[in-house]
Amino acid sequence: MIIAIDGPAASGKGTLARRLAEHFGLPHLDTGLLYRATARALLDEGRDLSDNKAAVAAARGLALLDFDEEKLRGREMGEAASIVAAMPDVRQALVEMQRSFARRPGGAVLDGRDIGTVICPDADVKIFVTATAETRATRRALELKGRGEKVDYAAVLDDIRKRDERDANRSSAPLRTADDAELLDTTKLDVEGAFQAALEIAERQYAAASQS
């Protein structure tokens, strides 16, 4: 069973993907971490985020790194990740790693921006998670605050809008809803409500996929 969860920044896709993975006993890959780790590696080497060659080398070297999520989840790294994620060669360097994760026996849950469209177009379950930019900014500000970061709601909202724009308008694997994905708007849902809605979609789509 392959479950593809896509959506914009702070839509809640990561939490949903984790909960679904737990529920079905599947491994979970947060693909945003791959782009965040690529950007982190570049910055740690003192390179510029626009250095395409170094970015590709960093992406290719990722398998060798142990992800330190604490270092990757900050506000700055989301922005940096979306810069390297717009480079087609960087995306190409990360495709096989993601596909081989998805091919694990029994399946997997992957969340990101292009899972249902590019990485796993044949996924059994595809959900596109959204929420208004304001709701997402509120959630992200709370999350960053919880991690001890100093945050300003207006700046977070601005980040989110900028990132939506960059992710949706890049030429390589732009953020878009796969034709066969189901839209889940979590604006008015709490974590449990969103999980129940996602579970219902996943069970229904999986049953349909198993019959065809």
Chain residues binding ligand CDP by CB under 6 A are 9-10, 14, 31-32, 35-36, 78, 81-82, 85, 112-114, 163, 167
Closer by beta carbon to ligand CDP, 165 or else 203: 165
Closer by beta carbon to ligand CDP, 114 or else 182: 114
Closer by beta carbon to ligand CDP, 19 or else 113: 113
Closer by beta carbon to ligand CDP, 54 or else 75: 75
Shortest approach of ligand CDP to residue 106 CB, angstroms? Answer: 22
Q: Minimal CB distance to ligand CDP: which residue?
A: 32
d(CA 61, CA 74): 22
Instruction: Residue 130: name the closest of 62, 198, 77, 70 by CA.
Output: 198
Shortest approach of ligand CDP to residue 10 CB, angstroms? Answer: 5
Closer by beta carbon to ligand CDP, 35 or else 101: 35
Shortest approach of ligand CDP to residue 200 CB, angstroms? Answer: 23
CA 60, 98, 70, 59: dihedral to nearest 10 degrees? Answer: 10
Shortest approach of ligand CDP to residue 36 CB, angstroms? Answer: 5
Shortest approach of ligand CDP to residue 112 CB, angstroms? Answer: 2
Shortest approach of ligand CDP to residue 113 CB, angstroms? Answer: 4
Q: What is the DSSP string of the chain?
A: -EEEEE-STTSSHHHHHHHHHHHHT--EEETHHHHHHHHHHHHHTT--TT-HHHHHHHHHGGGGSPP-HHHHSSHHHHHHHHHHTT-HHHHHHHHHHHHHHHTSTT-EEEEESSIIIII-TT-SEEEEEE--HHHHHHHHHHHHHHTT----HHHHHHHHHHHHHHHHH-SSS-S---TTPEEEE-TT--HHHHHHHHHHHHHHHHHHHHH-
Closer by beta carbon to ligand CDP, 25 or else 163: 163
